[in-house]
Each structure stands twice: as C-alpha cells, then as structure tokens.
Structure 1
Amino acid sequence: MKPLLLILSSFTLLYSAFAAETPNIVLINIDDLGYADIGPFGAKISTPHLDRMAKEGMKLTSHYAAPVCTPSRAAMMTGCYPKRVLPVPHVLFPAAAVGLSPKATTVAEVLKGAGYATACIGKWHLGDQPEFLPTNQGFDSYYGIPYSNDMGPGAEGSKSNPDQPLPKAAAKGKAGAAKADAEPETGIKGQAQPPLPLIEDHNVVERVKAAQQHTFTRRYTERAVKFIREHQKKPFFLYLPHNAVHFPHYPHQEFMGKSGISLQKDWAIEVDWSVGQVLDTLRELKLDANTLVVFTSDNGGPLNQGADNTPLRGSKGSTLEGGIRVCTIAWWPGRIPAGTETKAITAHMDWLPTFGELAHCKSVGELKLDGKDISPVLLGQKGASGHDVFYYYAGFNLQAVRSGPWKLHLGKNELYNLEEDIGEAKNVAAEHADIVAQLEKHAETMRADLGDKTKDAPGVRELGRVENPQPLISADGTVREGFNKIAKTLP
C-alpha cells in the first residue's frame, strides 16, 4: 500500500501545482462605456474599486473592440476579426435568422475542454434563437438578456430613461408599420420589437419591464458572486457582460443621482460597485493570487447619450479612436505588475488565445485566429509586444489600418500619428507618402482575405442560420413553443 499511497500523494501534489498555475478567469464587459467614463482613464466621477484595480494591475491604453456591440462580442468569443466569424452589417436584433455559428469555437469551449467551469451572466448579443445561445456555445450556464436593453417595447421601458414618462403602446391598427421594421436576416427593429426576455439556461423566466431594468446590474453581480463561491475549488471562467451602461440608463434606485451629473454616470458608479463585489469576493476566498480579471467595454461610448471618450475623437459606431478604442484594465495580483500600463496594440480577439495559453489549452494552436497571445504583455515580460498591424472594420467595410503609431483612414487619405496626436486632429498624409503607401499595402493584404464592402470573401466563414426565427416572447406574453419548459405565458 505504501507505493500506492506515494503515487497518489505525488499525483495530488502534481494536480495542486497544476491548479495553482491555471488561473481562474473573469471577463467583465461593460456596454457602451466611454474611454473616460471611469476614474483610471480620467472620469470626473468616483470609481474607487476600478481605481484600486488599476493601481494593483495594468491599464491597456491602446486596446480595441469594434464600433458596435455584436461584432465586438464575436471577436471576444472567437479570437477573430468579427467579419471573419459573424459577417453582419451592424448588430443583431430580436428574432434574427442569423447568429454566431454553433460550429465556431468559442473561448468558453476552449476553456471547458481544459476542465474549466464556465458561466455567462448578462448580455449575449450573438443571436437569440436557441441554437445561438451561450449554453450551445460552451457555457455550462447562462443568465441574462440576449441583446441590448433597448430592444423591447417602448411602453415597457426599453426606449426611454426612467426619468422620462413611458410612451404609450402603438395602436393595433398600425400593424403594417410594425411589420415594416421586421427583417428576418438580422431581426426585428424599432417599435415592432417583442418583449425583452430574461433567460436562465434554456428557459425564458421573466418578461423585462421598466421595474426589472433597474435590478439587472445588481442581479448579475449577485449571480457572479454565487458562481465564484460555488466553483472556488476548480478553475472557472466567468464571462460577465453587463447591460449597463447602454441606453436606456437604468441604475438601481440606490445609485440614481449619486454622480450629480446624469443617469449614465450614476450607472457607471454602480458598475464600479459591481466590480468591487467581484474583487472583494476573490480576496475573501483567497483566490485573488490565482485569478485574472479583465475589465473592458464592448465599444466606444455614444457621445449623444452622455458618454465621455476624452481625449479620443469620435463616438460609438465610428472607426475613429473614440468609437473603437476602449478603457481596459487587467488585474492578477503577484503576476501582472502593479500600477503599470501598456501602449501595445491589443484587441478583444486576443482574449481567446491569451486565456487559452494561460490555461494550457493545446487546442488553441489548432485554431486559425487573428488574435494573439498577449500574456507576455500582461505579465510585463521584457520585449513583449502587441499587434504589428490592426484593421478597423465597420460591418463589411475596411475603413482604417494602424501600424505602430500610424493610422490611415482609407478612402479619405487621412493619416494620423496616434502617439503625438491621439485625438486625430492633424492629418499628416501629405508629409508621409511612404507611410501611406505602406499602410495601403497592408490594407490590400486584408482585402484579399476578408474583403471590403461585401460580406463575401475567401476568409469569411459561414454564418449560423435558422429557418423561421421567432421572438422568444410574443406581444401577449406567450413564450415561444418548444423553447420554455417553465412557463407558458409571462405577465
């Protein structure tokens, strides 16, 4: 028995050592947060938890998402440029016929294959039909709204802030106008949108109205803390994509008015509270030294809805820096150098290869990815670098390309040195024809792969697609047949 005990003891020590080197991973993704909407990036509001996170971790000051949320999330989940894996012109809406293909390999599937428990808590926005939801994309569990919190009926609170009166429901005689807003390919738009569904795993459990909108940051946070506590003894991947701070702005009542500026800033303060709850839980459970936490946004902030992208030029939806460069912090006490920042060009498509490398996932090397492992950058290794070239896509269109400090807006012949001119104010194309030619050559290389102004190109992969897509909740509260095992109708 002694040799057997020795073998078992050795195995236990080996497993413990492996587990200690395999970090838990928490990815917090905020919706429509401006570059300067949090303290570490210059906000005027108080965000003490994020301030501490930055002091204990690293700021990524040249980190890129996409101009809007669906493509940004596609890059984050797949490690690829969004046009490669989810070629849609803008974002997805309720009852879209297309979504992220179930054939795509997601970061959740990679980590699940390495023994991680996986959970998605919050906004998904990669397709709302059952085939596209998180539990069919590598997540053990899901709790959240499948798209933005403004994609529901105006009369139920989805089209106006809580300090404004709710609009009346559209008259039944206007069904023709509502029908005109339905596009089977990308979903139902405008006033025709069905009720917002709250989903738990495979079931619609709630019809979201104004009162519920106020509660989601808190409810997501409570679920996140519960997940961490329940899975503290094995590696876990928690993806926490908040609906905050997307319009309409619904902070919890306890946070309304706290900023003294706007509901959008109130909600950013609640987001800071949420981050504090997650980090405090990790500290309490003594998981902080073995947990990588990333905080970021899905795109630049919308200036017309109160976001602040200072010192960047531009807003959500554009490929100016203010539309696509996002405030990002990485935290891993003892591993990521405290109080540091990097100007390395990094992007959401880097999270899959980075997490996969840290989790010792051999399968990552078998994937064709556009992202790269940026763990050397995060860990402060000497000589570590980000992307040599980054491409700015908006939908099907390649609009800009960056290499080093140089950014060229294609078709406009506008060249900016982002290290000297982060606000893209001085066009220096006439003075640097050689740089313009070099960046144009990079653009031609990418056009040959992913194309430009068309969704058809050699490197573009197949969309996920379903026949006869249906809303998850109809206007009368009936839950889609065959989808829900809990409730037939919701009030």
Structure 2
Amino acid sequence: MHLRSLLFHALLSPLVAFAADQPNLILINIDDLGYADIGPFGSTNATPNLDRMAKEGMKLTSHYAAPVCSPSRASMLTGCYPKRVLPIPHVLFPSSSVGLNPEEETIAEVLKAAGYKTACVGKWHVGDQPEFMPTAQGFDSYYGLPYSNDMGPADEGAKSNPGEDRKAATKRKLPANNTGIDETGIKGYAQPPLPLVENGNVIERVKAEEQHTITSRYTDKVCDIIRANKEGPFFIYMPHTAVHFPLYPGKEFMGKSPNGLLGDWAQEVDSSVGKILDLLRELKLDGQTLVVFTSDNGGALNHGSNNQPLRGSKGQTYEGGIRVCTLAWWPGHVPAGASTGEITAHMDWLPTFASLAGAKLPVRKLDGKDLTPLLQAKSGATGHDVFYYYRGFKMEAIRSGDLKLHLDKGDLYNLKSDIAESTNLAEDQPDEVKRLRALAEVMKDDLGLDGAEAPGVRPLGRVAHPEPLIHTDGTVRAGYNGVAKTLP
C-alpha cells in the first residue's frame, strides 16, 4: 500500500471506530396515552410487547412532558422547556402562521451532523407550513399527518369515533375560543381536509376509513426505514397519531380490549412496538439500538384514558396531565427490569442522544440534561433537582425533590408519599412553601412566570400567508401536489 493510502487509512480509522460506537436511536411518542393505559404502569389491558420491553429495560416513573401536544413535541425536539421555543397559549392548528422557528436546532439536525440518517414517521404538530415541516427541520424523510387527527372535517370522521353519527358531531357546542382563525390556525368545524404527507407531497386525503389504517402504515414505514439503514447509524422519531381522539384503531383490533376503543388502540400500539423490536432482534440490531417509548402528555380522561394513581387529565399540570409512562430499552446497556423515580423530561432526549452519538450540542441555551448515566444505572446518577410546570405562558407549579407546589392555590404535596396529590401540606410546612416560591422566582428573569414575553423566550417562526395543505374543495396547495392536484 502506498504511503498516501496508509496515511489516509490511519486518519480514517479512528472515525470509523467511533461511528461503530454510535447507537441507533428510536423515539416512539404516543399521543394522549394515559399513565396507566399500558401494562407496565398498571393497566389490566393486554400489552405483552410493552410488558416485555419494561422487563428487558427501564421504567422512568417521574418523566415529564407538557400538558398538551405542540409544546410537548417542541420540547422533545429542541431540548428546552416548551415556553422557551414555542411560546403559544395552547396548540397549533391547520394553516398556522407560526411554528417552531427554523433557527432552532432540532434533535434531527444535531444527529444528522454526527452522521445519522434521520426520519420522522407520524404526527408532527409544530407547524404545518413548508418552512416548519420535518424535512425543513433536519429530517431526511417524513411520512405522516402534520397535526392531530381531529383537525379535519366532521363529515369525514375527524370529530367523532367510529360508528358515531357524524352529523351529530357538527351540532356539538364548541367553546368560544375554538372557532374561527388566528395566528395559531383554523379551529373548529372550519378545518380543512386531513392531509397525509410524504416528504414534500400531500399523497392522500385522510377520511374515516384511512384513519383506521394509520398506525399500521406508520409501523410498516418505520420497519422499511430500519431495513434500508441497518448498517446505521439512524435516528427515527415516531410520533404516533394513536391514541388521540377520534379513536380509530385498526379494524382487526376493534372490540378486543376491556377498555373500549382507547384500549383497542393501545393494543395496536403495543403490536406496533412489538413488530419494531422483533425486527431489531431479527437484524441483530437490538444491542446497537436505544428505543424510548413515551407519551406527549397525560391521557384524556373524557376519552377513556386511565392516569391512575395520578390526579388530573390532559391539559392540566396535576401529575395526570403532564407525567407520562416512559420506557427505555437497549439490551446490554440499559439494565433489565430497572426503574428510576428521578425527575426526567422530554427536554432531556436531545442532550442524551447527542451524548450517545458523540454529537455537538446546539450553542443556544438548553434546559435538558444528559440522562446517559441514569439510563445505565450508574451509581450516583440523578435527574433534575427542580422542574417547572408550564401550561401555555404560565408557570402553574414547581417541583423540588419530592415536594410540589401549585403556585396559585398554594397547595403543597409530597409526591413520594402522596402521588395522587390528595393531602395538602402547606399549613404544616410553610417554610417549604416559601422555599419553593423562591425557586419559582428564579425563572422570573428567564422564562417569566406568566405572559408570552420574557428574556429567555425565543421568537416563533412566522410566515406571511399561511394556507391549508388541502383546501376544502380538495385542491392541494401549490408545491404539495404529489400524485394529484385535487384529492377526492
């Protein structure tokens, strides 16, 4: 071999060796899954694949998201508290003029710079205009719905469960703030048809029948991506449409669960996870792949979720609205049958994955923490000392250690002895109330305690003239034509 070749291989070999140490990363994010909607967290519903995942991996029992969809996903993608990167009052809707700012560096961009193939399969929900979509935010490919499956026409099944009268759905009274259009998008019954997007194309108008197939199609797509990239490293973000209302499990799963349609769909989610883990075993990638399973917020009790023993529901900052069932699986690296009650959160996945990949962190401020030592059960490994519970613009609660204070009511709970937040300790522990209020004030000059503006809040991305990806007449937005200009 010539000297030049020897020098080239000598320079290259450390990089090759390093790349071989980069694990594949799969982040599965279920929509509105309750804390106790799966077996490992107390459900009586049959979820054998998730049960096995928990036995072979780790349960994170104090893992936090956000109270609702869009902020939670923004936090997961950027490694920050939701308010820092997506300061909106609630969630985003179709044809929103705002979204996750393209200036933010997402988890996909961080990993792509480290040599990863990146893919997003599922519900996006941090902006549906081209500038905000996954392939503009670091993902090599995208397949899925740009927002929730209830954000479509009532007569096409988006406002009612299977078997319900769709005309009756149009008569339901909506809150005053859920009609018309503002910068966060089109609300209520004026919403345009649901688009299924593949990369830069709208490929389908999703009606009721198509909703039944969405979980299986996501699963098949993820399995195809794994096979195509088995040499690795790859990062797959799989934010499911399931189990958000309206509840559309695959037809073969309907009527199989004791927990109604939501339980049926949870069983299909379990089957989906099983297919992915089985494929990793078949390809002998299980020892090279970290798989995280979680939910974007607590379950919606009015749609059949179970958050026991937690208090509250989706949309709230009681534990049932924001603490989510979470599993981490990586045979040979994450110890089998492990569990941690340390405070962890969705904002931790970016720094954790970056650490595992040997990737550079964004230069902007992050709020997340590298969980690698915790996932590997290293002695002395800890989560967050303090966690701030934001709902929209407002900090509603704060946790330090086992103690949680609801700021407006002044209620104090010990989450170790009273996970259900049922016994108010404020009168008995006034010094702790004072200490926690002082910790909350620390954020006054960063993310603020209320209101949209604060020094640490970064600007939203904005577009001047948003429009639906599919108009009400079926016409596809220019540039998103895909296989047809009009979809029936």
Shorter-chain TM-score range: over 0.9
Which piece of structure 1 moves more, 160-169 or 93-102? 160-169
> In the alignment, which residue of structure 2 is the partner of 1:338?
336
> In the alignment, which residue of structure 2 is the partner of 1:286?
284
* Residue 381 (1) aligns with residue 378 (2): yes
Cα distance in structure 1, aligned partners of 2:335 and 2:10: 32
Matches for 1:3-18 after TM superposition, within 5 Å: 14-18=14-18
Q: Structure 1 residue 321: deviation in Å?
A: 0.1
Q: Structure 1 residue 169: deviation in Å?
A: 9.6
Which piece of structure 1 moves more, 476-485 or 133-142? 476-485
Q: Structure 1 residue 485: deviation in Å?
A: 4.7
Conservation of the 8 A alpha-carbon contact between 2:159 and 2:169: no
Q: Structure 1 residue 4: deviation in Å?
A: 6.1
> In the alignment, which residue of structure 1 is the partner of 2:368?
371
Cα distance in structure 2, aligned partners of 1:481 and 1:397: 38
> In the alignment, which residue of structure 2 is the partner of 1:65?
65
Which piece of structure 1 moves more, 4-13 or 224-233? 4-13
Conservation of the 8 A alpha-carbon contact between 1:95 and 1:184: no
* Residue 276 (1) aligns with residue 278 (2): no
What residue identity is the alignment partner of 1:426?
A: T
Alpha-carbon distance change, 285 to 16 in structure 1, aligned in 2, over 3 angstroms = farther
Matches for 1:233-252 after TM superposition, within 5 Å: 233-252=231-250
> In the alignment, which residue of structure 1 is the partner of 2:29?
29
> In the alignment, which residue of structure 2 is the partner of 1:174?
none
> In the alignment, which residue of structure 2 is the partner of 1:43?
43
TM, length-normalised to structure 2: 0.96
Find the residue that maps to 1:390 and give its secondary structure.
Answer: strand
Q: Structure 1 residue 368: deviation in Å?
A: 1.1
* Residue 395 (1) aligns with residue 392 (2): yes
> In the alignment, which residue of structure 1 is the partner of 2:114?
114
> In the alignment, which residue of structure 1 is the partner of 2:404?
407
Q: Structure 1 residue 16: deviation in Å?
A: 4.6
Find the residue that maps to 1:412 and give its secondary structure.
Answer: coil
2:188 to 190, 204, 224: 190
* Residue 450 (1) aligns with residue 452 (2): no
Cα distance in structure 1, aligned partners of 2:109 and 2:149: 26
What residue identity is the alignment partner of 1:96?
A: S
1:319 to 317, 337, 340: 317
Q: Structure 1 residue 248: deviation in Å?
A: 0.6
> In the alignment, which residue of structure 1 is the partner of 2:210?
212
> In the alignment, which residue of structure 1 is the partner of 2:307?
309
Cα distance in structure 1, aligned partners of 2:98 and 2:12: 46
Cα distance in structure 2, aligned partners of 1:2 and 1:147: 56
Q: Structure 1 residue 107: deviation in Å?
A: 0.3
What residue identity is the alignment partner of 1:202?
A: G
Conservation of the 8 A alpha-carbon contact between 2:254 and 2:264: yes
Q: Structure 1 residue 17: deviation in Å?
A: 2.9
Alpha-carbon distance change, 60 to 440 in structure 1, aligned in 2, over 3 angstroms = same
Find the residue that maps to 1:431 and give its secondary structure.
Answer: coil
Cα distance in structure 1, aligned partners of 2:403 and 2:176: 46
TM, length-normalised to structure 1: 0.96
Alpha-carbon distance change, 179 to 33 in structure 1, aligned in 2, over 3 angstroms = closer
Q: Structure 1 residue 483: deviation in Å?
A: 3.3
Conservation of the 8 A alpha-carbon contact between 1:182 and 1:189: yes
What residue identity is the alignment partner of 1:123?
A: K
Cα distance in structure 2, aligned partners of 1:281 and 1:7: 39
Find the residue that maps to 2:40 and give its secondary structure.
Answer: helix
CA-based RMSD? 1.9
> In the alignment, which residue of structure 2 is the partner of 1:360?
358
Q: Structure 1 residue 325: deviation in Å?
A: 0.1
Which piece of structure 1 moves more, 471-480 or 206-215? 471-480
Find the residue that maps to 2:143 and give its secondary structure.
Answer: strand
Conservation of the 8 A alpha-carbon contact between 2:259 and 2:304: no
* Residue 125 (1) aligns with residue 125 (2): yes
**Segments of 4+ moved more than 6 angstroms:** 168-171, 177-180
Matches for 1:433-448 after TM superposition, within 5 Å: 433-448=430-445
Q: Structure 1 residue 164: deviation in Å?
A: 1.3
Q: What are structure 1's unaligned runs of at least 5 residues?
A: 172-176
Residue deviations 1:218-274 (CA, integer Å, cap 9, x gap): 000000000000011121000000000001110001100111330100000000000
Alpha-carbon distance change, 320 to 126 in structure 1, aligned in 2, over 3 angstroms = same
Q: Structure 1 residue 388: deviation in Å?
A: 0.5
Cα distance in structure 2, aligned partners of 1:86 and 1:308: 28
Of all paired residues, the percent bearing the same amino acid is 65
Cα distance in structure 2, aligned partners of 1:40 and 1:401: 27
Matches for 1:171-190 after TM superposition, within 5 Å: 181-190=179-188
Find the residue that maps to 2:427 and give its secondary structure.
Answer: helix
Cα distance in structure 1, aligned partners of 2:398 and 2:119: 34
Cα distance in structure 2, aligned partners of 1:60 and 1:159: 33
Find the residue that maps to 1:167 and give its secondary structure.
Answer: helix
Cα distance in structure 1, aligned partners of 2:176 and 2:59: 45
Q: Structure 1 residue 184: deviation in Å?
A: 2.9
1:258 to 238, 256, 259: 256
> In the alignment, which residue of structure 2 is the partner of 1:431?
428
Find the residue that maps to 1:240 and give its secondary structure.
Answer: strand
Q: Structure 1 residue 362: deviation in Å?
A: 2.4
Cα distance in structure 2, aligned partners of 1:179 and 1:61: 35
Find the residue that maps to 2:253 and give its secondary structure.
Answer: coil
Q: How many residues align?
A: 485
Q: Structure 1 residue 379: deviation in Å?
A: 0.9
Alpha-carbon distance change, 299 to 416 in structure 1, aligned in 2, over 3 angstroms = same
Conservation of the 8 A alpha-carbon contact between 1:120 and 1:139: yes
Residue deviations 1:286-312 (CA, integer Å, cap 9, x gap): 111011100000000011110000110
Q: What are structure 2's unaligned runs of at least 5 residues?
A: none
Alpha-carbon distance change, 180 to 348 in structure 1, aligned in 2, over 3 angstroms = closer
Conservation of the 8 A alpha-carbon contact between 1:184 and 1:469: no
Find the residue that maps to 1:207 and give its secondary structure.
Answer: strand
Cα distance in structure 2, aligned partners of 1:223 and 1:100: 25
Cα distance in structure 2, aligned partners of 1:170 and 1:309: 29
Cα distance in structure 1, aligned partners of 2:164 and 2:24: 42
Q: Structure 1 residue 447: deviation in Å?
A: 2.1
> In the alignment, which residue of structure 2 is the partner of 1:77?
77
What residue identity is the alignment partner of 2:107?
A: V
Cα distance in structure 1, aligned partners of 2:477 and 2:56: 47
Alpha-carbon distance change, 211 to 406 in structure 1, aligned in 2, over 3 angstroms = same
Cα distance in structure 2, aligned partners of 1:477 and 1:204: 11
Conservation of the 8 A alpha-carbon contact between 1:97 and 1:467: yes
Conservation of the 8 A alpha-carbon contact between 1:130 and 1:483: no
Conservation of the 8 A alpha-carbon contact between 2:201 and 2:479: no
Conservation of the 8 A alpha-carbon contact between 2:393 and 2:451: yes
